[in-house]
Chains A and B, each alone.
Chain A
């Protein structure tokens, strides 16, 4: 890179190689990329393809356990991997918004102090009253742009005292307060409630129309990439390529609705569920069935009590009543009174794949425990399970923090399968996955249903995921909305 950065190239990555420190395996394998001023570049790729690593390299950051081996990164001619370049780049030039934007706000600091600090970092130096007035003006402008209140009362609040949407907009205001020339967005909408994701996408494009500025957008959210991106690049195995043309229709291939795989008595029956949190009735009058080889979707807005239903089924919720039958025989409401076999029969794949895996336990350990409990604790069996969920057996020795989000979620799934369950409860398992991985996971579930008669209860708010189910139960405020009518409306809207 002897040629000086041209006026139009804002960021240039040249032959960047980033490797894993432990085994030297490349995460980015010779990536070159040019981002022009004002351009919006979308980067798509499955989980573990190195897209987050590439995005963070523009800020001079590599994740723990990775190390840049060779190649250069320049942002406006500065090298973010040197200490002075890094500080200029991070403070003045590049704004960053990561997964779940609201989590970027420190829960122990008031919104105002976070915003003022961000304004002070980007504003020209000024200690006196003039500097303060300038910061105040910037904070007010940023809040107004995001349709947030500007009164001191709002600024005195802590993140947990405002709504999720407001917190997200404050985070966006913090990232954009200095009018950065490049905004790096790493899966900003993944795992968000649809309404929050929509709001964020709309605000990002409004901002781009108003202020311009380049963006590097890492996302598998088609809504976001299609509305924003000028250009899309694919990344696979740490190498850039032309964007893989998504399959002609991104909907999973046509499939029979209400597959006739099952008939007769349902595998899992739940009737008249009533669950309370203290004096508050969280869920009431919910009944549902899961057929052997069938898939029931439990949908509804966040806070509707979907996860509470899952906790009740597993016997983890403290206070609930109702009738629960597995293959015709009654299950106790409390897991402590269930036999080992009954516990293994119902397995949860949790939404939070980070929290669900012990950070100190290797993938091997996580799989071998349930495998041993169900009678076959061999290494080959663990490797076979990993292959089943589409992962390489080489991952057996890894710890959860060495896995990408998609890999973690699939390890989670493999662990649940290791117990040889009869019914799998999947709580928003696909919300953090890219489109391709999600389809692969759904396909895997479908295959398991057909091959082994596994029953699946899918908790989801993703329309496409919901479409794989043969029954849909909708929850609103802890009550069931007529499932038949839902199904009919569903059919009509397709």
Chain B
């Protein structure tokens, strides 16, 4: 299969996937415990006031109609208006998403080379001491929940030594880049947990290649160490690893919710956490949908990268 049909097929498959996810997102928020009406109208509201709020928010109509309206709006780039504050959801996301992408991008820039290096080191010597050390360490870190990891790093680098600020306060009207030091802890937390996942993925892909007859043949030609790893094991391990790393990137987006909340970093994850706390359904739906789209896009990119990296796929004989 050449590139044209491949790309077309993948991009076309993107649409129904996102549509299905939008149904899930909408359905899940419908089932969310708690009631937007009481959150908006306040605890002491009378039954009449509550009915008025319900009508104003359009919650008295049936869910299918509301879904279709919401999805239609989303297609036009309008995700509705948040209950609290009355701001347009689209605007809010456009405001916060860049901060989150910056965070995830920096974390990826740290995590990707580190996972490839560690995974290759372990995979090329599968079963030996270096592999056991790396694999065990990585497994330990992967087992730590992100908030525990964040708390550990906070205690170590901010509370005890005071090297870094404990809270990621962005200067008013500025961007996180105006105060780069606030980025360090969130990026580090995300990167460390990303490395833990990524290393394991790269390791298993390269361990498989390291056991292949062609790597054995290279060893018997006297090729060792970094050259063997980089020139003989890595080319064959990149394609499967790229796909796996795509999933890891998706996980970074999810991890951002926890990390941004812990550090008070003004990204889309913090916004989501607050929206859930306030039962701000349109905002929750909008952010969840955007996160789904971002994850789907990274998986798509990873598939394209995997194909580009594997000479056996898509090339004519």
Interface, chain A (partner B; CB < 8 A):
56, 59, 61, 64, 86-92, 96, 98-100, 103-109, 117-118, 121, 158, 160-161, 171, 174-175
Q: Which of B221, B236, B317 contacts A107 (CB 8 A)?
A: B236
Q: Is the CB of A106 within 8 A of B224?
A: no
Q: Is the CB of B235 within 8 A of A106?
A: yes
Q: Is the CB of B232 within 8 A of A160?
A: no
Query: Given contacts A104-B217, A108-B239, A109-B235, could you give 11 more A-B pairs where the C-beta distance is less than 8 Å?
Result: A61-B220, A88-B222, A90-B219, A90-B221, A106-B235, A109-B232, A118-B221, A160-B311, A160-B312, A160-B317, A174-B217
Instruction: Output the residue of A92, A98, A108 with the most chain B CB within 10 A.
Output: A108
Quick check: is B181 within 8 A (CB to CB) of the other chain? Answer: no
Quick check: is B171 within 8 A (CB to CB) of the other chain? Answer: no
Contacts A87-B224, A158-B312, A161-B317 known; A61 to B213 CB distance under 8 Å? no
Q: Could you say which residues of chain A place their CB within 8 Å of the CB of B220? A: 56, 59, 61, 90, 96, 98
Q: How far is the CA of A103 from the CA of B218 in the complex (A)?
A: 11
Chain B nearest CB from A402 CB (Å) reads: 14
Q: Could you say which residues of chain B place their CB within 8 Å of the CB of A87? A: 222, 224
A-B contact pairs, 13 of them (CB 8 A): A56-B220, A86-B222, A103-B214, A103-B217, A107-B214, A107-B311, A108-B235, A109-B231, A109-B235, A117-B231, A118-B221, A160-B312, A160-B317
Chain B nearest CB from A171 CB (Å) reads: 8
Contacts A87-B224, A98-B213, A161-B317 known; A106 to B218 CB distance under 8 Å? yes
| Size of B's binding interface in residues, CB under 8 A | 24
Instruction: Output the residue of B127, B221, B232, B311 with the most chain A CB within 10 A.
Output: B221
Contacts A96-B217, A105-B214 known; A121 to B223 CB distance under 8 Å? yes
Quick check: is B25 within 8 A (CB to CB) of the other chain? Answer: no
Q: How far is the CA of A88 from the CA of B222 in the complex (A)?
A: 8
For the residues of B in contact with A, the DSSP-based class is helix
Q: Could you say which residues of chain B place their CB within 8 Å of the CB of A105? A: 214, 217
Q: How far is the CA of A175 from the CA of B214 in the complex (A)?
A: 12
Q: Is the CB of B214 within 8 A of A104?
A: yes
Quick check: is B53 within 8 A (CB to CB) of the other chain? Answer: no
Q: Is the CB of A106 within 8 A of B236?
A: yes
Q: Could you say which residues of chain A place their CB within 8 Å of the CB of B216? A: 98, 104
Quick check: is B310 within 8 A (CB to CB) of the other chain? Answer: yes
Q: Is the CB of A121 within 8 A of B222?
A: yes
Tell me the chain B residues, 226-242 only, with Cβ under 8 Å from chain A: 231-232, 235-236, 238-239
Q: Is the CB of A91 within 8 A of B222?
A: yes
Q: How far is the CA of A468 from the CA of B89 in the complex (A)?
A: 79
Q: How far is the CA of A331 from the CA of B303 in the complex (A)?
A: 42
Quick check: is B164 within 8 A (CB to CB) of the other chain? Answer: no
Nearest A residue to B316 via CB reads A161
Nearest B residue to A108 via CB reads B235
Q: Could you say which residues of chain B place their CB within 8 Å of the CB of A88? A: 222
Q: How far is the CA of A87 from the CA of B219 in the complex (A)?
A: 10
Contacts A158-B311, A160-B312, A161-B317 known; A106 to B221 CB distance under 8 Å? no
Chain B nearest CB from A470 CB (Å) reads: 38
